[in-house]
Chains A and B, each alone.
Chain A
Amino acid sequence: MGDLFDLPFEEEQDQPTAQEPPTDGRLRATPAPPHSSPPQASPRPASPPSVPPLPVPERVGEVVPAALARPIAAPHERDRAPRRRPGASSGRALTVGQLTAQIRHLLESELFEVWVEGELSNCRLWNTGHLYFTLKDSSAQIKGVIFRSSLRYLRFKPEDGLKVVARGRVSVYDPKGEYQLVCEHLEPQGLGALQLAFEQLKARLQEEGLFDPARKRPLPALPRKIGLVTSTDGAAIRDILKVLARRHSTAHIVIRPARVQGEGASVEIARGLKALGHVPGVDVIIVGRGGGSIEDLWSFNEEIVARAITLCPVPVISAVGHETDVTIADFVADLRAPTPSAAAEMVIAAKDEFRARIDRLADRLRTSAVGRLRTLGRRLQLLTSRPALAGLPSRVANRGRHVAELSHALAHTGRLTLQSRERHVRSLERRLRACDLRQRLAHVRTRLVGVDGRGAAALTRRLHRATTQLRECAGRLESLSPLAVLGRGYAVCWNADRTRIIRAATQATPGDRVRVTLAEGELDCDVRDTILDSAPRVQS
């Protein structure tokens, strides 16, 4: 947009002219003198520098004249200033200015497009936005500059020690008698420019602590709404929706469409993250795209996306390309999914995990409650069976009440337990039915049969066991009831008006009337004799 105004003139503006010698002592490019413009091409590109990449010439490592075949600035023209006669009369000698002008002419017309390979050093960015540096190898060095207008097209940051191939022209600065390389483009060697940019940004963000595991937020237990930042035409969205549909998830998804490759994509992605992060209910966001080349995935290596992920108010899952593609977004995201489908699985997995956890808790709840009741029941049994029947008549009334309470409680719990188990089994059956086995993937099917199938069988078994248990309990309770004791042959002897239980023979005298309660019915009796020395005999 503003590029149109990033004209070559700007370079000149910042370059000192002969009238204004540079104060920084650095070599600057000067415009070619009007009288010596080279025949083939202007020393400067006529148009603003266009975007790389440019082919690297086969012969790097040396200065390659653009036109090898072309003879150098007419050395045999006799009427030109003689070069080999420095000691000649002043009339025939060149001024320094003339010589310099010739040198400049020679260099600028011959070396107006060269590729040079070397190592960067002394890189300094001036507040004009131009970058000055020295390019060197083991035997020589040359000063160089890359103007702001070209610098902005570099994807990586030129740093000391980097091996690069520079494309540019040689320019001479007359006042200092110095020459320098005016670069239009730099290409890192070894690593590609993108790879290098990746490493640089990665190092920087790591330094900032943005990859710190402590920063990673857990996924929500139960996502209310799942945010999705991706292209609506891409493979990623289809994969994700397919997984959610296949898993019968009832997810609520909010999609923020964004281009995921090409110029401006990173800005759209970053904006999408920000917008979705503020939609009420969205508590996890998947950002990603399907596979592609490193250039296709590049948006996810840009700082603006990385920052948007770290600033997002809810956890972000990155899902870029295939398993082997690693982007900066993956490092800063709260969770990295190897693929978009995997991201969807992860979101649902949380739900599955919770379902399992609740089932386990409910199981333990039942087990522990039933266990508790059983313990209490056992204690009761011990109590009633121990000092046993000697004191039974006096406690019968109390016990009876206690037993009644317990049996009521147990029946209540039993009912609850049974109901909830039945409900659980029904819900499992429902879930089993809901799974259309034909359509599921093989591993899901295996899992279902393996886990849910087993689970259902176990539940049914448990239900059986619980029923038996309940029956046993009821039986035990019955055996403890006073009626049951009487059923075993015991009887209770009362005084005539049934206000007092007769425990000893001395409590009655011959001629008294007593009542005897049996398991079934009562007897109205007359006492004929009292026998005090008879030992109580218990028959079972």
Chain B
Amino acid sequence: MHKMKERQPRWSLLQRRTSLVAALFVPIVLALVLPGCAVKFIGDYDETIDKGVTDVQQRAELYFSRLQSTPNTPYDQNFYDDMNSRLAVSKSRAASLPKYPIIVEQLANLKAQFDTFQKLDKSSPRPFPGVAVTDAESAIAVSVESILKLELALKRGAPPSTCDYPVVRLRL
């Protein structure tokens, strides 16, 4: 009797380990074999984010063109306020979508680029150097192209079927 009581904690530990292993591996195995399930590591294409980023680039291009053609154009706080609010909206949407951390980070990087250009614009005497506009424009274009390249790849051709994973509860 006394011995059985001593062995109980060991058995309980084994049970815990088994439960833990099952909790980790069962969803993976089920994802691979359940009818209609397709493996999915990253979220789906989102048209709102695609349009939002394209719109930001279009507005930025307008401002850059103005700075290039009229280098004495004064610093315009409204432009940066507009960019910040548009990017904040896109970032909030991306954060609410499942499996979207990569695009959330890309939008944060794009915003950081506008913040840096704002510092440059604010601190530079006029006429604003045209070459600086070209350099900034190129950096922002690379970021926008990167985001759009990934967004379009998320279309994936035929949409994969979704599946609901069974809830595996741990009893530790």
Asked if A and B are interacting partners, one says: no
